[in-house]
Structure 1
Amino acid sequence: MSVTTDQQAEFERASSGVFVEEDLVKDRTALGRLVASRQQEYLSTATPEAIRNFAHSYGDDNPLFCDPGHGETSRWGGQIAPPIMAAVLNAPLLGDKDPLAKGGSYRGIHAFVSGGTWTWYRPVRPGDTLYSLSGLESVETKQSEFAGSSVIRVLRDIKVNQRAEVVGVYRTLVIYTERKKARDKGKYAEIPVPSWDDAQLAALDETYAAETRQGRARLRWEDVEVGQAMGAKAKGPLTTTDMVIFHAGGYGFVPYGLKTGRRGWENRQRIPAFYVKNEYGVPDVAQRVHWDNAWAQAIGNPRAYDYGVLRECWLHHFLTDWAGDDGWVERQHDEIRKFNYQGDAQVLGGEVTGKRVEDGRALVDVAVWARNQRDEETARGAATVALPSREHGLPVLPAVPAELSRATTEVMARHGELLRERRSR
């Protein structure tokens, strides 16, 4: 479906928002400030079913995450979540308000998640509820080939469980572009529409069929060599169904969210700039660029495209399968380099770039990537994985920096105080 005249007119109306200096001033004031996140994500507590469904939402069937019985006989003594699930879990955390920490709103500006960096310290287990200390770590402006002026923000979330233990730290790179400028550039308009024949699908199916997971067959640190290939993993071709399943598994896109009925109407009153009329004249979420080809074309893309977070999860799937039941992915850095459009397929790969022993942990550094059927690199990353070792034994979890432990302990204590005050009223 192509963009209609009415959609173009609606696009012009919705794209009237441009960058304003006030937003940048607010961002610079907010730098370095951490506040208790009051966001209620779709999921806040990791139940066994929620863990399984989240893993399935990006195609991961690892029994360590999906089968509680398998986890009971593993080194973890029970089911654990894929570490990256910490990204979608959040319960409201009570804390003192800091109006200077809010930053700019960037109303009407299109946002792209362009990558992120995770450090994980503890597994998420069934029954764990996660909270966040959140803040803006950096902000800069630049000229983008795709969309003219852009604002690049790095958001930091410190994820903590109900025991005041730091689970991980997530830094998200988000690029904000003015929609009209993005469309006018038209840089991606000539990308060919995929048309898969049976032979091409059969070749992709061979990659799926050949995928391996270490599981309980321990990959030991001593057996890993620099330059060693890590295998391949297939994803796609991308469909609208993939987007639906990812949301159904727990990705909520809060604070915007997807809501229906009266709740959708209430959300439209709260953030009207997030809603743009579709070809039927019905206000719908601007977020539909991820499943609505016509709206994606209205902002300068040839077709709907995936979430950057989904490809982060794909790379994580690749890493956790390679690490096996006894390994631990300590760090993951990824960069989204190109769009992954509907109809595109990705093949993930990687290689070992280094190995070392640090604080008694046998660590392996790796590079990972995703390439589409046009042989374009659409995502790249680097990770550190702790592996079992004949000399050093099973990997222990990394130590949480003291300043993070202090900050989260104080914030959770304040949360408890405010909760008691609320209940005593």
Structure 2
Amino acid sequence: MNEMIRKFPKITQEGLDDLRTRIGVKIEKTVEPWCYEATRDNIRHYAHGIGDDNPLWCDPDYAKNTKYGDVIALPSFLFATSRIISGYVGGLPGVHAMWSGANWNWHKVIPRNAEFRTEAYLKDLIEHDTRFAGRAVQQIYHVDFYDAKTGDLLADADSWCFRTDRDQARENGTKYTKTKENGRRVYTQQELDQYYEYYENEEIRGAETRYWDDVAEGHELPTMVKGPMTATGFIAYAQGWGGLYIRANKLAWQLQQKHPSAGIKNRFGIPDCPERVHWEEEFALEVGAPGAYDYGPERTSWLTHQVTNWMGDDGFLRQAKCQVRRHNPEGDIILINGTVSRKFEDAGRYLLEIQQRAVQQDGELSALGSVIVELPKR
């Protein structure tokens, strides 16, 4: 049997022991976020990065006639205000990190020009034995999001990454054998047009109030489509969300001097960022992915996009949970479906629980989600 060719650092017990000393300890200094403020442009760039053109976030002329009086930030915008919630984890340098899910709670609407302060800590480490990459570690963080001016808690969330052995994942490749065997899908124009119909028919509820009274358990939300996946689309998301390692020239060099594992040499022998798995197929294959693929927070944002379109301007997204189950490589098309599973009241609020399931074009599970929405009562 040939011995595995090792290109990357692996998970070690010493590295895990060091990480465990950090559990529960407030992170005093974090890398600056992409967005300190919810400016009109920052909100719009994030919304457009997930393909969301809801005028409540994107059009001040529309929004001034709503009860908010101005644009507000879409709930998932908060991914752009914290590196920790977005999967930039500490410890185990050089070991691959795959963002894999989050549980969100929102407490207040995020107004235009809000300034943010966050507090974060490592919540837990859970070891797993996976088919995809052998030994893996689930690294869970908790983040609180505050309005820096008022001190109000806007939201809180847990998110997690799986730290995996890049070499083991490349050698095993068990998770994507179908993709390897069948190759990447090439679409006919007729096939594409069938998916584009979802875009043509996508409805933003907007000012037409959806009342809690009018929704029954079993109600199905309109299917939302995302894709076909392209490297251009992944970069569009990074423009709104902000990739920590996407830096140019001197700033890239400075980062690599401070964190050598952030500069993995490309085919030209030049240190380049690990984040290029999202647009460079050659490197994505080296870490065991089926090709250049989407961002994890992007996936969660797609699921909440389906719900904010459906609930209208007067709805409020209280909770959202998302588990990412696979990569979405270039060429994939994602269909998101949602069903109201529970209708209930709590502390004077009128709430709906919605179960979500996202699959790619061949029916393979991409993500699972659930949300709780508050709607007005007649």
Contact 2:255–2:262 (CA<8 Å) still a contact in 1? no
Which residue of 2 is the match for residue 193 of structure 1?
184
**1:346-382 deviations in whole A, cap 9, x for unaligned?**
1111000001111111000000121111111201100
Which residue of 1 is the match for residue 257 of structure 2?
269
Which residue of 2 is the match for residue 140 of structure 1?
126
Q: Which amino acid aligns with 1:18?
A: K
Q: Which amino acid aligns with 1:33?
A: V
Q: Is it true that 1:85 corresponds to 2:38 in the alignment?
A: no
Q: Which amino acid aligns with 1:105?
A: G
| Partner Cα separation in structure 2 for residue 190 and residue 260 of structure 1 | 37
TM superposition shift of 1:316: 1.2
| Partner Cα separation in structure 1 for residue 294 and residue 178 of structure 2 | 19
Contact 1:14–1:108 (CA<8 Å) still a contact in 2? no
Helix, strand or coil for the counterpart of 2:81? coil
Q: Is it true that 1:165 corresponds to 2:152 in the alignment?
A: yes
TM superposition shift of 1:38: 3.5
Change (3 A) 1:24 1:377: same
| Partner Cα separation in structure 1 for residue 349 and residue 144 of structure 2 | 23
Which residue of 1 is the match for residue 221 of structure 2?
230
Q: Is it true that 1:239 corresponds to 2:226 in the alignment?
A: no
| Partner Cα separation in structure 1 for residue 356 and residue 309 of structure 2 | 13
Change (3 A) 1:146 1:114: same
**1:291-325 deviations in whole A, cap 9, x for unaligned?**
11111111222311111111111111111111110
| Long gaps (5+) in structure 1 | 1-10, 93-102, 391-425
| Partner Cα separation in structure 2 for residue 128 and residue 20 of structure 1 | 42
Contact 2:124–2:140 (CA<8 Å) still a contact in 1? yes
Helix, strand or coil for the counterpart of 1:30? coil
Q: Is it true that 1:202 corresponds to 2:188 in the alignment?
A: no
Q: Is it true that 1:252 corresponds to 2:242 in the alignment?
A: yes
Larger radius of gyration: 1
Contact 1:86–1:130 (CA<8 Å) still a contact in 2? no
Change (3 A) 1:59 1:354: same
Which residue of 2 is the match for residue 212 of structure 1?
203
| Partner Cα separation in structure 1 for residue 260 and residue 221 of structure 2 | 46
Question: Identity of paired residues, percent?
Answer: 30
RMSD over aligned CA atoms reads 1.8
Contact 2:234–2:293 (CA<8 Å) still a contact in 1? no
Contact 2:7–2:167 (CA<8 Å) still a contact in 1? no
Which residue of 2 is the match for residue 408 of structure 1?
none
Q: Which amino acid aligns with 1:193?
A: R
Contact 1:64–1:80 (CA<8 Å) still a contact in 2? yes
Which residue of 1 is the match for residue 17 of structure 2?
25
TM-score normalized with structure 1 length: 0.83
Contact 1:116–1:335 (CA<8 Å) still a contact in 2? yes
The 5 Å alignment of 1:341-420 reads 341-390=329-378
Q: What number of residue pairs does the alignment pair up? A: 366
Q: Which amino acid aligns with 2:126?
A: E
Which residue of 2 is the match for residue 112 of structure 1?
98
Helix, strand or coil for the counterpart of 2:21? helix
| Long gaps (5+) in structure 2 | none
| Partner Cα separation in structure 1 for residue 6 and residue 116 of structure 2 | 39
Which residue of 2 is the match for residue 312 of structure 1?
300
| Partner Cα separation in structure 1 for residue 153 and residue 14 of structure 2 | 34
Moved more, 322-331 or 282-291: 282-291
Aligned partner (choices 168, 171, 174) of residue 181 of structure 1:
168
